[in-house]
Amino acid sequence: MPKHKSRIINPKWLDKLVYVAVLTPFLAIPQVYNVWTGEAEGVSITTWFGFLVMAYIWLAYALYHRIKPLIFVHTGWIAVNTAVVLGLLLK
């Protein structure tokens, strides 16, 4: 079966754009700051621990399949999620 070629999205462009996802963990920096400065009311440790576990699962998948963008993104999420969980545990 021939590969479908999209006329809307250039696959080479999309392959490069996926590296922008590396920046997504930085979106949670304000949450990390709030947790570590004592403004963590309403922040669920269960949710952030779940995010941490899932990031490890995704990282294992990415490492197994050698998918560099996912490796970078989930390494970043592991750092951010760990910071939030530790901040909540130590408060």
Q: Over the chain, what is the mean pLDDT?
A: 89
Looking at the predicted structure, is the pLDDT value of residue 5 above 80?
A: no
Say if CB 62 and CB 11 are below 8 A apart. no
Spatial separation of the C-alpha atoms in residues 8 and 33, rounded to whole Å: 40
What pLDDT, on a 0 to 100 scale, did the predictor assign at position 1? 45
Say which range, 10-19, 20-29, 41-50, 54-63, has the weakest mean pLDDT.
10-19
- How crowded is the C-beta side of 58, counted as CA atoms within 13 Å? 17
**Residue 36: pLDDT band with limits 50, 70, 90:** very high
